[in-house]
Amino acid sequence: MPGTQRYLIVNADDLGASAAVNRGILEACEHGVVTSASLMVDMPGAEDFARRREQVPQLSVGLHATLTSEDGELRIERSECRAELERQLERFEALLGRAPTHLDSHHNVHLELASLGEVFAALAAELGVPLRARSAARYYADFYGQWDDGESHPELVSVEAFTETLEREVGPGVTELGCHPGYPGDGFESSYLVEREAEVRTLCDPRVRERIEALGVRLISFSELGAAAPAPEA
């Protein structure tokens, strides 16, 4: 494929967090630009998504491995990481009847802790799937509606913010844009709720797709990554 072609994967994290979060992600897939999502297999909405997965057969689903508490603290010993990843992978396959299309982690812990990153990389290599930020897809993490201090800024996930990101960050090759769409409710507690709803509205806004097309960017999923770009050298 031409080296100047630009590809975009829009990946929704936290699939399975609750039925309400699932609803937002499925809406953003069916009526918006989300192409892939990452499943938290131990959360209350995991089985809800497993029942509804045929609603979005086009959605690539990866494993959103969860090794941290909601405050970002590692909840297992580092030596237990491999066994816990394998347990979550087994749970994923039991829920969906197949292997994940990609691998990443809650709070991006595999990027924050180098020793864990190597464990994740080894498992991804064995599965033959891309690992976030260590594949042919460049990872963009800053489409997020809060500042580091937790102050809410929904304008950071507005249509205008998304289109500015497209123009500034999506260059030749493949870019993964992480997002967190969803709805509140069903007992899901998070400091990031109003912003999830704002993300759903933005990702489903027709102006976003129109701008993607006008810029000549092609939306793809993680299932299509291998055809769009070669894997990087180890």
pLDDT 10s digits, 17-31: 999 999 999 999 999
Q: How confident is the model at residue 148 (pLDDT cuts 50, 70, 90)?
A: confident
Residue 141 CB contacts under 8 Å (≥ 6 apart), including other chains: 108, 178
pTM, to two decimals: 0.94
Cβ 14 vs Cβ 40: under 8 Å? yes
User: Would you call 138 helix, strand, or coil by DSSP?
Assistant: strand
Domain tally, the chain: 1
155 part of a folded domain: yes
Q: Report whether pLDDT(47) > 90.
A: yes
233 part of a folded domain: no
215 part of a folded domain: yes
Q: How confident is the model at residue 187 (pLDDT cuts 50, 70, 90)?
A: confident
Q: Cα-flanking dihedrals φ and ψ of residue 17, to 5°?
A: -60, -35
152-177 pLDDT, tens digit each: 999 999 999 999 999 999 999 999 99
Residue 80 CB contacts under 8 Å (≥ 6 apart), including other chains: none
80 part of a folded domain: yes
Sole residue written with tokens 């129109």: 210
The CATH number of the domain holding residue 23 is 3.20.20.370
* Segments forming the whole domain that contains residue 121: 6-228
234 part of a folded domain: no
